[in-house]
């Protein structure tokens, strides 16, 4: 069962789960936000119990939760949006996990680099799942609360997967925005002091499905594009894919581009926990971007 199936990641998850090479005996139920309000406790319980009853005896049931509120800045400035973020990111995962516990299902829950804090002494190395959490802002706190709710309800049957800087073939994202701005502006100033691991949603979907089908023990893992860059570096890579001059993208610091919600200065994620579970790491971010725009040129239409 995939919740949030209408989003960029959810769309890729469903495509992967129903691909020609998928196990023929897999049964996939994809539910969009319009079909299931994951913040409605009664609706969640009914949907999960109904799914489990329909697939009884078909194998181990796994729910992959790709539903989330991701308007980070709006959650910080608009009280109603902040409440919506808390309902979708903190409370809904707990409702889903409790229902999974009742029917004996495993849950794969997608979380974010935003929950992590700076390393001691300002060290800069890829972040591990057991590194300190220090969420700053409504969105980040809601996502950490969601993680905690899943672990509490399913101590032996959960997979919390943190990822970062996700873009997909559908919906608004940084890659599409940079492509559009390349046609609208002669130069762009883009933040160059925030470091992270850009992640193509299709690659993430492949990884999440592999995890769901694996015998990996319960736990928290990181899965993101390999390597690291800055937002400026990612923007320049988009320009390169367009055949535009990447020098048109000029570096600036975070202070020059203030946003309502604070962003992590360092959110490069380690794949050590992913590899330790016997899972193939996601491709390097630059290679993934090239593949993404080759398969989905509409990304560059902005």
Domain membership of residue 252 (yes or no) is no
Active site residue 69: no
Structural domain of 279: 2-173+198-227+268-284
Has residue 26 got a pLDDT over 90?
no
- Could you tell me the sign of the dihedral formed by the alpha carbons of 19, 25, 26, 29, in that order? positive
User: What is the structure's pLDDT at 122?
Assistant: 77
Phi, psi for residue 127 in degrees, rounded to 5: -80, 140
Domain membership of residue 233 (yes or no) is no
Band of pLDDT at residue 301, cut at 50, 70 and 90 = confident
pLDDT in tens, 228-279: 999 999 999 999 999 999 999 999 999 998 899 999 999 999 999 999 999 9
* Alpha carbons 225 and 281: distance in angstroms, whole number: 8
pLDDT in tens, 175-233: 999 999 999 999 999 999 999 999 999 999 999 999 999 999 999 999 999 999 999 99
Domain membership of residue 232 (yes or no) is no
User: What is the structure's pLDDT at 158?
Assistant: 98
Strand bridging mode 229-230 / 195-196: antiparallel
Band of pLDDT at residue 302, cut at 50, 70 and 90 = low
* Alpha carbons 147 and 142: distance in angstroms, whole number: 9
Report CA-CA distances (Å) from 141 to 84, 91, 117: 13, 12, 12
Domain membership of residue 260 (yes or no) is no
Q: How far is CA 125 from the centre of its chain?
A: 21
Nearest to residue 234, comparing CAs of 280, 269, 271, 188? 188
Phi, psi for residue 204 in degrees, rounded to 5: -60, -40
| Number of domains within the chain | 1
In this structure, how many other beta carbons lie within 10 angstroms of the beta carbon of residue 220?
A: 19
Domain membership of residue 263 (yes or no) is no
* Alpha carbons 4 and 110: distance in angstroms, whole number: 11
pTM over 0.75: yes
User: What is the structure's pLDDT at 271?
Assistant: 96
Phi, psi for residue 252 in degrees, rounded to 5: -140, 170
- For helices 201-212 and 285-295, what crossing angle results, to 10°? 110
For the chain, what percentages of helix, strand and coil (3-state, to nearest 5) are there?
A: 45, 15, 40
Domain membership of residue 239 (yes or no) is no
Tokens of 105: 């299902």
The alpha-carbon radius of gyration of the chain (Å, integer) is 19
Nearest to residue 48, comparing CAs of 2, 111, 113, 116? 2
Domain membership of residue 292 (yes or no) is no
CATH number at residue 26: 3.40.50.720
Tokens of 3: 């919740």
Q: Cβ neighbours of residue 253 under 8 Å, at least 6 residues apart?
A: 191, 192, 193
Q: Are 222 and 129 in contact (CB under 8 A)?
A: yes
Q: Cβ neighbours of residue 208 under 8 Å, at least 6 residues apart?
A: 13, 64, 108, 110, 161, 223
Domain membership of residue 244 (yes or no) is no
């Amino acid at each position: 069962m995939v919740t949030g199936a209408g989003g960029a990641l959810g769309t890729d998850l469903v495509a992967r789960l129903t691909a020609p090479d998928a196990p023929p005996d897999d049964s996939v139920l994809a539910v969009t936000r319009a079909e299931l309000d994951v913040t409605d406790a009664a609706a969640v319980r009914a949907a999960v119990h109904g799914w489990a009853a329909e697939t009884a005896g078909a194998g181990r049931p796994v729910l992959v939760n790709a539903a989330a509120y991701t308007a980070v800045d709006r959650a910080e400035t608009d009280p109603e949006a902040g409440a919506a973020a808390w309902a979708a990111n903190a409370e809904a995962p707990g409702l889903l996990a409790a229902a999974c516990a009742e029917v004996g299902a495993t849950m794969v829950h997608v979380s974010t680099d935003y929950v992590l804090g700076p390393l001691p002494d300002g060290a800069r190395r890829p972040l591990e799942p057991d590194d300190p959490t220090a969420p700053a802002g409504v969105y980040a706190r809601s996502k950490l609360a969601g993680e905690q709710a899943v672990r509490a309800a399913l101590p032996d049957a959960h997979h919390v997967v943190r990822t970062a800087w996700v873009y997909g073939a559908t919906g608004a994202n940084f890659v599409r925005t940079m492509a559009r701005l390349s046609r609208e502006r002669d130069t762009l100033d883009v933040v160059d002091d925030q470091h992270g691991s850009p992640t193509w949603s299709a690659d993430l979907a492949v990884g999440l499905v592999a995890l769901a089908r694996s015998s990996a023990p319960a736990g928290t893992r990181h899965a993101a594009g390999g390597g690291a860059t800055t937002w400026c570096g990612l923007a320049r890579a988009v320009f390169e894919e367009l055949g535009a001059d990447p020098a048109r993208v000029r570096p600036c610091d975070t202070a020059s581009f203030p946003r309502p919600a604070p962003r992590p200065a360092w959110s490069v994620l380690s794949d050590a926990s992913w590899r330790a579970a016997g899972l193939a790491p996601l491709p390097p971010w630059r290679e993934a971007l090239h593949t993404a725009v080759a398969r989905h040129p509409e990304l560059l239409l902005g």
